[in-house]
Amino acid sequence: MSPLQRIVAFLRSPRGQQLVARGRRELAKPENQRRLRQLAARLSRRR
């Protein structure tokens, strides 16, 4: 099984679904959105 197939299988598992839901809840928070925008801006300036 390739690494990508293993990741896809994990994400479809109950534990993977729990992690996806948690990630979506965290991304819905304005503070985390701000942090991600800052990180993206820093990374884009490096290029």
Average pLDDT value over all residues in the chain: 96
CA-to-CA distance for 28 and 37, rounded, in angstroms? Answer: 13
Domain limits for position 25: 3-45
Instruction: Tell me what pLDDT residue 40 has.
Output: 96
Report the number of distinct structural domains present in the chain. 1
Confidence of residue 29 (pLDDT cuts 50, 70, 90): very high
Instruction: Tell me what pLDDT residue 46 has.
Output: 82
CA-to-CA distance for 47 and 37, rounded, in angstroms? Answer: 16
Q: Are 18 and 12 in contact (CB under 8 A)?
A: no
φ, ψ for residue 23 (rounded to 5)?
-60, -40
* pLDDT at residue 11 is higher than 90: yes
CA-to-CA distance for 32 and 39, rounded, in angstroms? Answer: 10
Per-residue CA distances from 26 to 3, 31, 35 (Å): 26, 9, 11
Instruction: Tell me what pLDDT residue 31 has.
Output: 97
